[in-house]
Amino acid sequence: MSTASGCLPASITRAAPRPAPPPATLRAAAAPQAAGLAPAARTSSGTGAVLPRSRYLTVLGWAFTLFNSVRMAAYLPAVWAIYTSGDSGQHSLWTWCTWFGANLTMALWLRERNGGHFDRAAAVNLGNATMCGVTMLLIAWFRF
């Protein structure tokens, strides 16, 4: 048995051949994803029809608004529980401060990205920041 390094058979020490690069059509199809661009949304009908990007973005924008508006209402049970019990011991002030800051800075960042105008996404984040701020103030009020 012949060995290249003295210990291993020659068949093990040979470099494995590199796989062939993907065809140009596959590289071109992967380019938008590699560049961070979202692929077009497909319909669930199974026909392979593609929604126009503008419709996809409209639906996505309204879904964002809907779910984040519902999220604003979801703060109310915590606010009500703290207010009626007068006990904020089970709520983390640090967590609510973090959520307040995250929502507020996101609203301001979106405003800046939109040329200084509040769009729907910025308004929703501002609403979430407001609800986090209310909760944060109640926690602090009953704790200190």
Measured in degrees and rounded to the nearest 5, phi and psi for residue 123 equal -65, -40
Q: 38 falls in which pLDDT band (50, 70, 90)? A: low
Per-residue model confidence (pLDDT) at position 49: 61
Q: 120 falls in which pLDDT band (50, 70, 90)? A: confident
Query: 44-95 pLDDT, tens per residue?
Result: 555 666 678 999 999 998 898 889 889 989 999 999 999 999 999 999 999 9
Per-residue model confidence (pLDDT) at position 117: 93
Q: At how many degrees (to 10) do helices 76-85 and 120-143 cross?
A: 20
Cα distance between the two ends of the chain: 82
Query: 92-109 pLDDT, tens per residue?
Result: 999 999 999 999 999 999
User: Distance between CA 79 and CA 127 in Å, rounded?
Assistant: 15
Query: 5-34 pLDDT, tens per residue?
Result: 455 455 555 555 566 666 655 555 555 544
C-beta separation of 135 from 75 below 8 A: yes
Q: 2 falls in which pLDDT band (50, 70, 90)? A: very low
Burial class of residue 2 in the structure, from the number of CB atoms within 10 Å of its CB (0-12 exposed, 13-18 middle, 19+ buried): exposed
DSSP 87: -
